[in-house]
Amino acid sequence: MSAATAGRHRVPVTTALAATLLAVPVLAAVLGPFLAPLTPDDGAPYALGGGHLLGTDGTGRDVLGLLLRGGHTALGVACCAVALAYLLGGPLGLAAAATRHRWLDELAMRPVELILPIPSLLVISVVGVGWRGSPLAVALAVAAINVPAVARLVRAAALDAASGPVAEAMRMQGESRAGVLFGYVGRTVLPVAAADAGTRVPLAVFTVAAANFLGLGLDPASPDWGVTIAASREALLIQPWAVCAPAAMLVMFTVGLNLLADRLLDGGVRDRLRAARAAR
């Protein structure tokens, strides 16, 4: 292979760094529950060493074990919440963009604008009243927070395609409204939605972590990374790994996903995403 060919196939440094940062917490979340039973949970509180690679927390649980067991809630809840937000907000935004009746557009989007200013942690605390400690409750709350923003972004990104000549030609040829909406308009919006998700998932991860840190989310005994940070924060100087290790996982995931999403975006999609966000 020539030097020129090798240069063309070389992975950019930014992409390699982003993939590495992202791979560590994702692998911990996926494989961690299978590896965690190998770590002992019978140590002294906030101990360093003694068979515990990263020490123990305030109840004697192995920090490495908590790190391996806590990723599937820390990342899984946020990813499921964003996916649910797109499942609910995406069709709403598409329908609002495609309607020819302004009053229907207003009817669909006005409630969205009323929900947008509500603080996210307030929504989580209200939803969690009846389901305290439930990952499902946290996921539903984070999804509810993101539905309005997703609906507005999808609507703004779909307006031109929904009223453009291609969509009009499809209607004249007898294509159903659903076929035009989801078959054509939805495909044109998909790159923008994927780019937006690349930044929305990290925000959801930090929202979930903040809720757990403040005691509004999962059970205080949960191994979730945000819960672990909250439980051990007062012992930061005594046992820094109990706080720094889960915090590093959260930072690596969010930075890695942001870098990777930005790297994979081409100029056209980036411009459309900026325009859609500005139009909201």
- On whether the CB atoms of residues 49 and 200 are closer than 8 A, the answer is no
Contacts of 89 (CB under 8 A, 6+ apart): 146, 147, 148, 149, 150, 151, 154
- Rounded distance, CA 167 to CA 276, Å? 19
pLDDT of 2: 47
- Average pLDDT, 10 consecutive residues per value, the chain (280 residues): 50 84 93 77 78 84 89 90 93 81 66 73 72 80 89 84 74 74 80 86 88 78 88 88 93 90 68 64
Three-class HEC string of 96-119: HHHCCCHHHHHHHHHHHHHHCCCC
Residue of 62, 17, 19, 65 whose CA lies nearest to 42: 62
According to the model, what pLDDT value does residue 78 have? 92
pLDDT of residue 223: 87
Q: How far is residue 147's CA from residue 86's CA, in Å, rounded to a whole number?
A: 7
The candidate with the shortest Cα–Cα distance to 90, out of 138, 152, 35, is 152
Locate 224 and state its tokens. Answer: 């979730």
pTM over 0.75: yes
Give the model's pLDDT for residue 54.
87
d(CA 88, CA 91): 6
Query: What is the set of domains in the chain, with CATH numbers?
Result: 30-279 (1.10.3720.10)
Helices (H) and strands (E) in the chain, counts: 12, 0
Helix (H, G, I), strand (E, B) or coil at 7: helix
